[in-house]
Amino acid sequence: MKRDELQEQILKILINDFEFEKPGLDDNLRDDHGFDSIDAIELLGKIELILGYSLTLKEKEKAMGIRTINDILDYIETIAASRNP
């Protein structure tokens, strides 16, 4: 999946499921949108649906560094590349 398609899917999820208003790709998810750890767990489940497979514990731990939408996109691309070299 191309980054722009992935970005469209993630933005749609953040707007529809997490009620983000006008999310910017470099917005701080927590500070700018009130995103918390429960939201992060829910988002990881949605990322698994996008990827079509469950994330390993190690892959989920890597998500702890996510702060922006661009970080989410980088994270998904990294996971997908490591699974499909």
- What is the pLDDT at residue 85? 64
Q: At what angle do helices 3-18 and 69-83 cross, to 10 degrees?
A: 130
What's the Rg (C-alpha) of the chain? Answer: 12
**Residue ranges of domains in the chain, CATH in brackets:** 3-83 (1.10.1200.10)
Q: What percent of the chain has pLDDT over 90?
A: 94
Give pLDDT tens digits for 3-26: 999 999 999 999 999 999 999 999
Give pLDDT tens digits for 47-66: 999 999 999 999 999 999 99
Residue 40 has pLDDT above 70, yes or no: yes
- What is the pLDDT at residue 83? 83
